[in-house]
Amino acid sequence: MNPSTLPTSSAGRHQYLDTVKLLLTVLVVGVHAAVTYGAAGSWFFDDPVRNFPTSAALTFFNIYCQSFFMGLFFFISGLFTPRSIERKGPARFVLDRLVRLGIPLVVFFFLIDPLTEYAGYRADHPAGVDLLAFLRVGIRTLENTGTGPLWFVQALLGFSIITALVAAFVPGTVRRTPQAAIRRPLRSARTYLALIGMGLGVGAVSFVVRQWFPLMTAVSNLQIGFFTQYVVYFALGIAAGRSGFLDRLAELSPRPWYWSSLGCVLLMPVLLVAGGAFENGLDAYTTGLRWQALAYALWEQATAVVFSIALLLFARRRLNAPGPALRVASRNAYVIYIFHAPVIVWTAYAWLRLQLPPAVKWVMLIAAGVTVTIALGELVLKRIPGVRRVLS
């Protein structure tokens, strides 16, 4: 997720988007903290103390988050791309993205990722090499370097460059539609059916893609099995930015989206129980010509649609006038995203001997990760000359 790809909306009528980006970023921290304390998945560091009820609950949390939060990040990133390219031109747009996305990516790859990896190494090798030796070996061999959670920045940089190239050679593809040409109004029932249908279509394509790229596997740290959604949502964000979709969002009734979101929440346990997930694990849902894999792909993408629209509608109505504390947190969302990995990994490592239930430590770790990174951004990083341009 890269909140810096969006101009701040606090001065306009879409202030709630800043809060949505913050909420999504906190969910990213929550997902990674959940894996630390027992949820299915891979992360830099796992606490060995866990129990089945907590692991199951945190796995459900991650499944729900994974269904929509990164896709919504790509959608929001695409929203203001047409305006940015029109204002800056394709070449300057790419240069700006290389600064805002490329610099954090390089810093994370060569410095932050090795620092984070070292916590897991220390947990497994208490008498192992010291930090400086670990960093020297890792950087020299690239053995302990990677993009980690900044895979999103990696992918978004690629999407942005491709979009700029398209804009340079086919200018009309990203040009904003004149307001007078926008059809009004949005009809709630028609929009609901169209978006649900789109979601099911994305689910069907995802099911096919996952025959070659199963879930929980990565290529250059990119989980291609999820990328059907990401590509479609980034393109939808561009289309929404061109057509002024956010200005017409208030025309939609929120109730169908809220009730559908609840229905999707309740349906997932049914799918897992019916598919034997608690007896046989989640493998049947990740790939293969199995009904579980198809059902999961369709559920995932339908859920992505209803969760995303429900959150946007709720935020537009309830979160469009954030207070001072929320504004400070929102303007540091990108800092949270970049630096939360080393903060929560080293904090979890320091808490290894803390005798508390995993669920309690999970909540504490989220709070620590968010609070420390906000303080780091507000009190340290943004005071360094030149850094504010990258992280703001």
Provide the pLDDT for residue 9: 45
Residue 383 exposed, middle or buried by CB count within 10 Å (0-12, 13-18, 19+): exposed
Q: Identify the pLDDT of residue 3.
A: 45
Q: Are 68 and 312 in contact (CB under 8 A)?
A: no
Furthest-apart CA atoms within the chain: distance in Å: 69
Cβ count near 225 (within 10 Å): 23
Cβ contact 281:213 at 8 Å: no
Work out the percent of the chain whose per-residue pLDDT is above 70. 93
- Mean pLDDT, range 227-239, rounded to an integer: 97
Query: What's the count of helices (H) and strands (E) in the chain, helices before strands?
Result: 17, 0
Q: Report the distance separating Cα 69 and Cα 196, nearest Å.
A: 17
Q: Which domain holds residue 305?
A: 3-391
What's the total number of domains in the chain?
Answer: 1
Q: Check residue 219 and report its DSSP letter.
A: B
Does the global pTM surpass 0.75? yes
Q: What tokens were used for 196?
A: 């649900």
Spatial CA neighbour of 122 closest among 255, 209, 114: 114
The arithmetic mean of pLDDT across residues 333-337, rounded, is: 97
Is the per-residue pLDDT at 151 higher than 90? yes
Q: Which of 30-44, 120-134, 138-152 has the highest mean pLDDT?
A: 30-44
pLDDT at residue 250, as a whole number: 82
Average pLDDT, the chain: 90
Q: Please state, in angstroms and rounded to a whole number, the distance separating the CA atoms of residues 373 and 14.
A: 25
For range 92-111, the mean pLDDT: 96
